[in-house]
Amino acid sequence: MMEHPDIAGTEGGARRARERFAGSFTQQEPLPEASVAAALAVMGHGRLHRYNTIPGETAEAALLEEEFAAFTGARYCLAVASGGYALGCALRACGVAAAEPVLTNAFTLAPVPGAIAAAGGRAVFVEITGDLTLDFQDLEAKARETGARLLLLSHMRGHVCDMGRLMDLCRALGLTVIEDCAHTMGADWDGVPSGRHGAIGCYSTQTYKHMNSGEGGLIVTDDAGLAARMVLLSGSYMLYGAHPAAPGPEVFEGLRLDIPNVSGRMDNLRAAVLRPQIPLLPGRRLRWRALHDRLEAGLRHVPGLRLVARPGAEGFVPSSFQFLLPEWEPVRVTAFLAACAARGVELKWFGAEAPVAFTSRYQHWRYAGGQSCPRTDRILAGLVDMRLPLSFSEADADLIARIIRDEALRIGQAEHVAPVQAPRVQ
């Protein structure tokens, strides 16, 4: 006879409840000392605006652009106010027209369709596979059906599709690819850095990303015309000469009076905080992989729980962790989430009826219009998501895996599950 999961007073329930995680899923590492010192220097002289410099000085924002361009191998780089702004700036630079269809993953976060809507476009959602990446067959069908010329590809939660196959398909379809690399800074596919396959790569430096400036964004491209448009869009006030990681002035001459100012510059304070973090990215990648691997090892072979496959060509940087509970009914999932939360493990679920925190999905974005992606719906109905901050140790990852494993076995195998309101996770 299987245990009923709401029998907490039994000896078995008490034994299981002894282990509890006491850490925080929102506590990031402290900024490196070099970032703190650089920030204090900028605050000390007060020249926070990127174009406020003294003779002979190169602004922190300009230096950040040069250094991030070198890190990614891109010809040009622009630092902006947020990752969402980066996406909108890229779309505008590509000339998105009013109500123009823009293809994007059905599994993504709200800033992606939000950027499309803000730029005047119309999001067309493409199905995903069971490994949480873009479904190429549905992409081709919807590209032909809509006549779309733009794909805003979201490497959602750090899962990268086969970029070689994708780019071959997009070239055949005449699609320009903008990569949303908010979750893949420092990742690669077959040795090519994320953001360097498409025409434009957009990154976020929001607190929960791979570099932390609170908010911020970076854009890279090899296309001089696109780079110039984005510099002008960001609000350069004709000071494009102060961008050493931008094209020469001759590229701007034919554009400067026709491109609107849609201000979204990064300031020197955030740039100063970010610059010392660039050399830390390879080490952070290794540390995230170690945490991810410990979680995978602890959750492998749990009945009813499926891990997400990662191809050998994918050099991923897992700042979050996902697994699937296929065919679990909602009452069982919510009981599982509540049980894990009671033991200190904060999990998010993309199958909830209403959006909670960062787990909204395409049906919740009514401004994008009613669309149907039934294969994606089936996947998201069982998709569980967890932040993986570098403030965690490998021992923390082991403990978290034990708690998840324990509750997945207990609740997944129970004959009856009492309804439980899912915890509201911030």
Average confidence (pLDDT) per 10 residues, the chain, 426 residues? 39 64 96 98 98 97 98 98 98 98 97 97 98 98 98 98 98 98 98 98 97 98 98 97 97 96 98 98 98 98 96 97 97 97 97 85 92 97 97 98 98 82 51
* Residue 76, amino acid: Y
| Six-digit token string for 42 | 């900028």
pLDDT at res. 15:
55
Strands 188-189 and 192-193: antiparallel
* C-alpha span between 416 and 111 (Å, rounded): 39
CATH superfamily, domain 11-24+281-412, is Aspartate Aminotransferase, domain 1 (3.90.1150.10)
3-state secondary structure of 125: strand
- Taking CA atoms, 261 is separated from 192, 220, 353, in Å, by 33, 19, 39
- Residue 14's pLDDT is 52
CATH 3.40.640.10 range(s) for the chain read: 33-278
CATH fold label, 33-278: Aspartate Aminotransferase; domain 2 (3.40.640)
pLDDT at 10: 43
What percentage of the chain's residues is helix, strand, coil (to nearest 5)?
A: 40, 15, 45
Asked whether the beta carbons of 408 and 305 are under 8 A apart, the reply is yes
Start-end ranges of CATH 3.90.1150.10 in the chain? 11-24+281-412
Overall residue count recorded for the chain in this entry: 426
Place of tokens 């590509």: 94
Please give the angle made by the CA atoms of 197, 207 and 364, to the nearest 5 degrees: 75
